[in-house]
Structure formats: structure tokens, C-alpha cells
Structure 1
Amino acid sequence: MATGWAGDGAVHDQIDATVNDAVARARSKLGRGPSRSQCEECNAPIPEARRKAVPGVRLCVRCQQAADKADVVHSGYNRRGSKDSQLR
């Protein structure tokens, strides 16, 4: 089947690359080392249950929610390569 410039399996390669990027981004956000007993932003105590559930936790729930809202990820380019995206 003629696919233009894309080779066989190009769509699957793009999907795999997108998934691999998302996994790498998620792994980079995982905590490392011992959990803190107090939030490093507001000094509020971090409950023991949270410290056990999230290894390497550094923020209380409230500060973590604020950090998650501020950490919106935009990929910056369109991997699909649709004609619409190429015309812009």
C-alpha cells in the first residue's frame, strides 16, 4: 500500500515514541530517597500514611496539587503530521 513519505510502521513508531516520552516524564517525577516529615514549601506536617504511600514525598497534598496544576505539559509539536498541521 502506498503511504507517501511514511514508511511501513511509521504510525506505530510515532505512537511508541509518544508513550515512551510519557513514561520517561512520569518516571522523572517520582520521588527519590527518604520522605520528608514536613512539606518543603509550607512546613506543614506530612502524614505518615502519605509518606508510606508515596516514597520520597517532599510536599503536602495541598502544595502537591498546586505544583501539579502548574506543571502542565505541552509537547510543542504534532507527531501525527496531519496535512492541517503541515499547512500552519
Structure 2
Amino acid sequence: MANGWARDGAVQDQIDSTVEDGVSAARQRLAHSGPSLTHCEECDEPIPQARREAVPGVRLCIECQAKWDRRQQYDSGYNRRGSKDSQLR
């Protein structure tokens, strides 16, 4: 297949990399197994008993979890492929 300056298999490599990134991100979002922590592993504040019961394996307090969730919104969904218009210029 004629694909300009890209080497053979480059498109498949991009697809594979995007899938691997997605799987890695999903695995990080999964709840940890085992008992919940009594104190947040980020700020060392106590985690309320109700949160520990509601979220098995919880490791962060509500505030640190919210910060982590906001960071994840910006890190996800990166598209490595440029548009066809940018490739033609």
C-alpha cells in the first residue's frame, strides 16, 4: 500500500499503541483488590468508614480521588494520527 513516507506497518503500530494505552488506562481505573486503606496514600488523611465500605480496595480520600480523576480526563483520548489534510501539506 502506498502511504507516503511512513514505513510498512506504521498504521498498525499506531493502532496497537492506541489500544495498549486504552487497556493500560482501564486497568489503572479498576479498583484495587484487598482491604481498603484507613488513610489516603497521597495525603495521609483518614478515609471515612462509609467510603471504605462503599468502595472496596479504596486507596485515596475523596479529595485526592477527585484530583486524580481530573488528571485522567486530560490524559485520555490522545489521537496519534494526524488528519489527511495535515499530511498533504
TM-score, structure 2 normalization? 0.55
Structure 2 portions without partners, runs of 5+? 4-14
Question: Which residue of 2 is the match for residue 28 of structure 1?
Answer: 28
Alignment of 1:10-21 (within 5 A): none
Alignment of 1:69-80 (within 5 A): 69-71=70-72, 72-74=74-76, 75-78=78-81
Provide the C-alpha distance between the structure 2 equivalents of 1:54 and 1:85, rounded to a whole number of angstroms.
45
Q: Between Structure 1 and Structure 2, which shows a larger proportion of helix residues?
A: 2
1:69 to 1:76, Cα distance in 2 relative to 1, 3 A: same
- Percent of matched pairs sharing the same residue: 55
Q: How many residues align?
A: 73
Q: Specify the SS of the correspondent of 1:50.
A: helix
Provide the C-alpha distance between the structure 2 equivalents of 1:26 and 1:61, rounded to a whole number of angstroms.
20
51-60 or 26-35: bigger deviation: 26-35
The letter for the 2-side match of 1:73 is D
Structure 1 portions without partners, runs of 5+? 6-13
Provide the C-alpha distance between the structure 1 equivalents of 2:20 and 2:42, rounded to a whole number of angstroms.
31
Q: Specify the SS of the correspondent of 1:59.
A: coil
Question: Which residue of 2 is the match for residue 61 of structure 1?
Answer: 62
1:40 to 1:21, Cα distance in 2 relative to 1, 3 A: closer
